[in-house]
Structures are given as structure tokens and as C-alpha cells.
Amino acid sequence: MAETDEILHREPGVDRLDRQLLHVLEIDGRAPFGRIAAVLGSSEQTIARRYRRLRDQGVVRVLCFPTFVAAAQPTLLRLHVQPGAGRPLAAALAKRDDVAWISLMDGGAEIACGLRARTSGSREALLLEHLPRTGRVLGMTALTVLHVFPTPGRAGWDGFPDPLTPQQVAELATNVRTGAAAHARLQAEDDDLLRLLARDGRTSYAALAEQTGRSPAQVARRVEALLASGVVYVDVEIAAQPLGYTTTARVYLRVAPARLRQVGQQLAEHAETAFVGAVTGSVNIVASLVCRDLDHLYTYVTDTLGRMSAIQSVETTVVTADIKQAATLMQGSRLAAG
């Protein structure tokens, strides 16, 4: 723990309060600054100032999307490409609305991306027509996500050295949209709200009202109802490198089918995992990892995964560059508006 704190403090301006603020946002990306301040024992002005700095530095980005985009035929693609073709091809794919995220792996020899096609036709067009016509693609593997393993009390990656206490997490959970209607459906008049929230998921109700011509009370009721009903979700992206976690990777596991659920749930509990899903194909679990460095990744693969007897094989790939996350184009390790 002391070693981790030393690494984290090498990044100027990122301290314990910042990291706990990020943890809060992972749990509720639109939590009011006043409630965050109460949970963290700080002032509302301090929390608002800290958030704006972290956002402007590219450490965190909060976005809101319609849930149907998240649920539409999620597919993980692995594209093996010609030398030198990785970055330009990834940049071209990043412009597609149905590509949710995209990364260069292992020095650019592989592209990994998440496809969220709204229809089977658009998915098939990309997989069976557009990509095969690209001579730069040497091989392609498509893995359909069958199940995502969530963990109660965890939201995304929360491998901070000083996470929120269970009491703080419970305090946040008891205040999440308990009074909002949970039966809302998307309507045409929601489009303007969704466009604004897709650019900045923490846009204030006052700003949303001003830009949509409604009253703040109307906007607040509508946004809270959409979130409570689950037709809109909050996506929080954290650039782990400024926090001292310099290595991100993906592992592809083949697990004994009878123990697939058990292994998936165990992996989802690990601090290193940001995503764990059951998939189709020659492997049946994919996990995204966030590690301090290559030594940390090596230890996790050999000691943690190596001790799980149900895992029959492990393939590890290291992220060279994130090109797009949460429909947001990336610049280096920082988030940049797309």
C-alpha cells in the first residue's frame, strides 16, 4: 500500500480527496456536489473545483447515453493488421457511431474494439462486408458478449488505494433517485437533452433548461425519471495513467464451463478488473485489467489467475494506446472531446 501511495503521489494534484471523488462518480456520475461533499466530509465549493480540474485535465469524463445503445448486440472484435496499419485503421473505425471503444494492442499489431450495432444488419455489414474488404486486416475474431459480471457495491474499476468505506457507499446508494418515477420511456422531445448529456453527463439542470427552453424543474424531473427507469445510463471514464496505473491489458480465458459463473464472479471482485464478461468463441471469458505496471500485471496473471484451477488457458494482450472510450476520442492517456 505504501508503494502504491508513493506512485500515485508522483502525479501532482491527484490526492486522496481526488481519488475518493472519482470513486463517488463511479457509483453515481450525476451525484450533486453537495451530497458528494457531505459523504466525503468536504465543502461543496471544494468538490466542484476538484471535479472541474480533474475533468479539464482529462482524468475523468462523465457521459450519459440511451441504454439501448449499451444493450444492442455487444461484440468484442480482435483485428490482426499489417505492420503500420493499426493506427490509421483504428482512427477510421473510431469515427463510427457503432464502435463504442477502440484500442491498439501489443505495439499496434492488433486492434481491439467494442461494437454496439443497433441491428443485426449493421453488425453483419461491418463484419462480413466492410472489414473483409480492407486488405490491411489479416485476421478477425468476433466475440459476442453473453453476460457481464457485475459486483454489488462496485462500479467499473475502483482499484484505488483509499476507496470509499462501506458506510460511505451505503450513504450514496440510499440517495440515488429514490423519488424519481421509474417508468419513463424515451420520447422525441428527449433528443435535445440526450445530445447535451452525451457531451457532458454532469451538465447542470439550469444549463440544460437554458439550452432546451424548459424550466429547471421540468428538466430535473425528466432526467431523473429517465435515469431511474434505466432507459438512460451514466458512463464514467477514468484515465488511470494519471493516477499511477500505467498498464492496461486484456486477458482472454478458457474456463471449464461448469465453473464459468463462479470464475466470472470471482474476477469481478478483483481490484484489477474493470470489465469481466462471458463471451462466445474459443475462449469464454474476457477481462479488462488496470495495473500499476508490467510487474503488477505479471503478478496478477501468474499468482492470482494461476491459482484458479478452473482456468485452462490465459492469453494476455497489453494496451498500447486507447483511441476511443465511451464514444469519446482519446489523445494519449487523456480524454478528449470527440
Report the chain (338 residues): mean pLDDT per 10 consecutive residues: 38 79 92 94 96 90 76 80 90 84 91 77 66 80 90 63 86 63 80 93 96 94 90 85 88 97 95 92 95 96 97 96 65 35
Cα separation, 336 vs 338, whole angstroms: 6
**Residue 231 in contact with residue 66, Cβ under 8 Å?**
yes
Q: Provide the grid cell at 334.
A: 487523456
Q: Which candidate, 135, 176, 239, 147, places its Cα nearest to that of 35?
A: 176
- pLDDT attached to residue 193: 94
Q: Indicate the SS3 state at residue 193.
A: helix
- pLDDT attached to residue 322: 87
- pLDDT attached to residue 186: 87
- pLDDT attached to residue 217: 95
**Residue 103 in contact with residue 323, Cβ under 8 Å?**
yes
DSSP string of 283-294? --EEEEEEESSH
- pLDDT attached to residue 58: 82
- pLDDT attached to residue 118: 60
Find the DSSP H helices in the chain.
2-8, 16-27, 33-40, 44-56, 67-71, 86-94, 120-124, 131-133, 166-173, 191-199, 205-212, 216-229, 260-269, 294-299
- pLDDT attached to residue 7: 37
The strand pair at 285-291 and 311-325 is best described as unpaired
- Please indicate, yes or no, whether the overall pTM of this predicted structure exceeds 0.85: no
Q: Provide the grid cell at 178.
A: 429514490
Q: Indicate the SS3 state at residue 251.
A: strand
Measured over the CA atoms of residue 165, residue 170, residue 173 and residue 175, the dihedral's sign is negative
Query: DSSP E strands: which ranges in 207-310?
Result: 232-238, 247-255, 273-279, 285-291
**Residue 111 in contact with residue 104, Cβ under 8 Å?**
yes
- pLDDT attached to residue 333: 38
- Cβ burial of 167 (10 Å; 0-12, 13-18, 19+) is exposed
- What is the maximal distance between C-alpha atoms in the chain? 59
